[in-house]
Amino acid sequence: MQLLDGKATADSIKKELALAVKLRKEQGKKIPHLAAILVGNDGGSLTYVNAKVKTCDLIGFESTLIRYDDSVPEEILLAKVKSLNEDKSIDGFIVQLPLPKHIDEMKITQAIDPLKDVDGFHPVNIGNMVLDLPGFLPATPAGIVELISRNGIETSGKHCVVLGRSNIVGMPVSIMLARNTTPGNCTVTITHSRTQNLVEICQSADILISAIGRPGFVTKEMVKEGAVVIDVGTTRVEDSTRARGWRLRGDVDFDAVKDKCSFITPVPGGVGPMTIASLMINTLRAMELKGK
Ligand code: NAP
């Protein structure tokens, strides 16, 4: 078994990005600027946004964090999105999801200028991804594909089974790996909560990607000998041995499954760091695409 070390892979990407920023500075060019909108005080969202801002600092990007209370009206958020669309100093921005129930997430996503949509969630960018046209790829699926690519894993002709069909992970990663690209050319089976014979389907996977948010759901019997296993799930579970009282757990029963795999991602330290690295790649591209 080889560990698919997302942290180490993301660290190399960050070094490349830091070098690109250094060169731009030397040439007197603009530095990429990422803005993030965070609504409310959810611990998970705050951790993710802080990690994004910290990564900007580390690689030399500028960043702006805009925070609103849970009760912020939808119109205020839409007005902020409009002003960020028009702000020439901002190259790309994200609205951290999930949003409170009274706000229509799709309406907010659709209000973002597709050329600044570095999370890659806008329908225009999803359409570009499907048609393999230039655009921004959603950060987590792009991070998964980059992790596969940078670790020399063959995807062509392989059977890839994806657990979960969400708009941000399961659906886009299925499309990206089925495309006629490298990495890609997989035969993909996308599964969800209504799928029958899930265990048998998983047993035939050369590459198994789980994005369902159910800790330890993927057991040893579901994994084929020599499979590549990518665990996207990150669920907080109680852990009294930690001062904070919890730890992150993936969808895969790591200890039981690891010896059957050729490659496996840890949680944490697998897909999470790659998601942030992809967001940074998209932000640099957002600036370069505008000829800055
Ligand atoms: P989501 O929107 O809640 O979607 C979950 C998907 O899993 C749905 O498609 C659901 O099926 C499917 N599912 C649920 N139970 C299932 C079962 N028993 N068998 C098969 N499929 C089942 O989740 P998400 O936003 O994609 O996130 C999934 C996990 O990834 C979460 O733990 C999240 O925290 C994590 N995540 C991590 C990162 C990262 O950077 N590491 C990024 C994003 C998400 P239905 O469609 O039928 O309901």
In this predicted model, what pLDDT tens digit does every residue of 74-120 receive, in sequence order? 999 999 999 999 999 999 999 999 999 999 999 999 999 999 999 99
Could you tell me if the CB of 191 is within 6 A of ligand 1?
yes
Are 30-113 and 139-271 equal in CATH topology?
yes
State mean pLDDT over 14-27: 97
Q: How confident is the model at residue 292 (pLDDT cuts 50, 70, 90)?
A: confident
In this predicted model, what pLDDT tens digit does every residue of 44-66 receive, in sequence order? 899 999 999 999 999 999 999 99
Pairwise CA distance, residues 151 & 230, whole Å = 13
Pairwise CA distance, residues 3 & 263, whole Å = 6
What ligand 1 atom has the least distance to the C-alpha of 250? 32
Q: How confident is the model at residue 291 (pLDDT cuts 50, 70, 90)?
A: confident
pLDDT at 157: 98
Nearest CA to ligand 1 atom 35: 233
Could you tell me if the CB of 273 is within 6 A of ligand 1?
no
Could you tell me if the CB of 213 is within 6 A of ligand 1?
yes
Query: What ranges do the domains of the chain cover?
Result: 30-113, 139-271
Could you tell me if the CB of 277 is within 6 A of ligand 1?
no
Q: Is the pLDDT of residue 251 over 90?
A: yes
Could you tell me if the CB of 283 is within 6 A of ligand 1?
no
Q: Name the CA dihedral angle for 133, 138, 142, 143, rounded to a multiple of 10 degrees.
A: 160
> How remote is the CA of residue 21 from the centroid of ligand 1, in Å?
35
> How remote is the CA of residue 97 from the centroid of ligand 1, in Å?
14
Nearest CA to ligand 1 atom 40: 272
In this predicted model, what pLDDT tens digit does every residue of 267-290 receive, in sequence order? 999 999 999 999 999 999 999 988
Could you tell me if the CB of 170 is within 6 A of ligand 1?
yes
pLDDT at 8: 98
Q: Is 188 exposed, middle or buried (0-12, 13-18, 19+ CB in 10 A)?
A: buried
Strand duo 261-264 + 246-249: pairing: unpaired
> How remote is the CA of residue 208 from the centroid of ligand 1, in Å?
14
- What's phi and psi for 149, nearest 5 deg? -65, -50
**Mean pLDDT computed over every residue of the chain:** 97
> How remote is the CA of residue 291 from the centroid of ligand 1, in Å?
37
> How remote is the CA of residue 197 from the centroid of ligand 1, in Å?
18
Could you tell me if the CB of 6 is within 6 A of ligand 1?
no
Q: Give me the CATH topology for the region 139-271.
A: Rossmann fold (3.40.50)
Pairwise CA distance, residues 263 & 196, whole Å = 26
In this predicted model, what pLDDT tens digit does every residue of 140-149 receive, in sequence order? 999 999 999 9
Q: Which CATH code for domain 30-113?
A: 3.40.50.10860
pLDDT at 290: 84
Verdict on whether the full-model pTM lies above 0.75: yes
Q: Which residues are catalytic?
A: 52, 96, 119
State mean pLDDT over 214-229: 98
